[in-house]
Amino acid sequence: MSYDASSTIDADTQEAIDIDRSKGDFSFPERHKFDAGRGLTERTIDYISDVKGEPQWIREFRHNALKVFREKPMPTNWATEDLDNIDFDIIRYYLSDGEKPKRSWEDVPEDVLRTFERLGIPEQERAFLAGVEAQYDSEAAYSNMKEELTKQGVIFVNSTEGLKNHEEIFRPYFGKVIPTGDNKFSALNSAVFSGGSFIYIPKGVKLKQPLQAYFRINSENFGQFERTLIIADEGAEVMYMEGCTAPKFETSTLHSAVVELVALKGAKIQYVTVQNWSSNVFNLVTKRGMAMEDAEVRWIDCNIGSRLTMKYPGVIMKGERARGEVISIALANSGQHQDTGAKMIHAANNTTSNVVSKSISVGEGRATYRGQVHIPKHLKGCKNNTECDALLINTRSRTDTYPAITVKGNQHATQHEASVSQVSEEMLFYMQQRGLSEGAAMSLAVNGFINDLVREFPMEYSVELKRLIDLEMEGSVG
């Protein structure tokens, strides 16, 4: 389903909504000791492996992934012609100062510390987090967790430490939920991955406070390729929160992450993302979870900013009574395309999935929902609910919905609902007659549209989300 607004506020007199990105739009001079240079070759792979001191099996894994990346075509089955603007030969694939992640903020280099202080990360850690990892370009600059969690056997380190120090836990699941050949960009990540989190929650351990990672791009013409693996053992529970920012450069920046979640029997994983990339970032990520018997994987996702986002968090419900959920908010401003959605693969009886997606298109922004639900014939008792709602602000705003729901057999229950609404001049006029300014009226309309989903975010992130969607509208509407 596609829809273009035609009866909302006149585009000729409507400026694009300004989202406050000043919090993340700054950078410091580069201070890297290790730089793999531009372009992607076998030498790039060996350089990264040498700097990290990796075992031979990882080097071979990377080289194999490079071959797969070269063989895989660019995605062509959807309208993403903007991908042709990515020049893989000018991207810098690895930048690092060569330092191990610090356990104390006092030991973090001054400019890096100032970056994360401006983003509020140390303050958030003190206030409500159980642990924090802060990545700066290719490597973690800071990584720390509360001592009582260590005593319970919780592991929260960057992916390099996970591979070196916890290979017996890391390796069996590494690349199993998302194979190298899943798509061109998962292959790219597999070839040059660096940074990201490795988390293991032991049996029965239920974290009361969330863990957080923050991914910061500071350098121009850079590609950030973190790789995250979270394993919740039987009966364990964890919430992981992820934030992302980058300064705005004239040149393109690439972010291509891979995130694998494994929830074993009766475990629960919540993965919360609030991304605020600048408008020069190509955000092309692959995120997928596997839920075993009676387990739950829940993605809560907010996409603001970037030039193009392609992100479809998925859940493979592999055990009976497993549950998968994706709660998604996307805002597309002029010059931006938010191509987001969800994948729900039912692979066991009596499994349940839920997808709720809301998008806002502003100016000439484009928001796309792309979903896949698959329930095979041999299963029974599976349930799926999919809801896609879009809000259009301008006459040239655009939204598209491409649901692909495949249900075989007659022992399942599925439902799909989609709606498109517009912010009309009459609505704004009505609110203005009751004393609201033009900008406040628009802000109220938009925040009312997403309010039920904002409640799903942790309190601290819902405040941040509302700040990001603070619509500075005075004088810019009508």
Q: Does the structure show a pLDDT above 50 at 13?
A: no
Q: Does the structure show a pLDDT above 60 at 126?
A: yes
**Average pLDDT value for residue range 376-397:** 92
Q: Does the structure show a pLDDT above 70 at 22?
A: no
pLDDT bucket at 31, cuts 50 / 70 / 90: low
pLDDT bucket at 320, cuts 50 / 70 / 90: very high
Q: Does the structure show a pLDDT above 50 at 325?
A: yes
pLDDT of the residue at 413: 94
Of residues 237 and 79, more confidently modeled: 237
Question: What are φ and ψ of residue 473, in 5° steps?
Answer: -105, -10
Task: Quote the CA–CA distance of 113 and 135 in Å, as a whole number.
Answer: 11
Question: What are φ and ψ of residue 2, in 5° steps?
Answer: -120, 150
pLDDT of the residue at 277: 82
The whole model's pTM is what?
A: 0.88
Angle at 195 between CA 40 and CA 265, to 5 degrees: 120
pLDDT of the residue at 19: 44
Task: Quote the CA–CA distance of 253 and 262 in Å, as a whole number.
Answer: 30
Look at 20-29, 261-270, 447-456 and tell me which has the smallest mean pLDDT: 20-29
Encode 429-463: b = buried (16+ Cβ within 10 Å), e = exposed. eebeeeeeebbebbbebbeebbeebbebbbebbbe
The helix (H) or strand (E) run that includes residue 275 is strand 268-277
**Average pLDDT value for residue range 202-218:** 91
- Is residue 275 within 8 Å of residue 247, measured between CB atoms? no
**Average pLDDT value for residue range 26-35:** 62
Of residues 448 and 267, more confidently modeled: 267
pLDDT of the residue at 268: 98
Q: Residues 57-99: pLDDT tens digits?
A: 999 999 999 999 999 988 875 555 678 888 999 999 999 988 7
Residue 106 tokens, joined: 């006092």
pLDDT of the residue at 459: 66
pLDDT bucket at 465, cuts 50 / 70 / 90: low
Strands 323-332, 296-305: pairing kind: parallel
Query: What's the whole-number average pLDDT of the chain?
Result: 85
Using CA atoms of 460, 466, 469, 473 in order, give the dihedral in degrees to the nearest 10. Answer: -150
Q: Does the structure show a pLDDT above 90 at 279?
A: no
Look at 261-265, 383-387, 419-423 and tell me which has the smallest mean pLDDT: 419-423
pLDDT bucket at 469, cuts 50 / 70 / 90: low
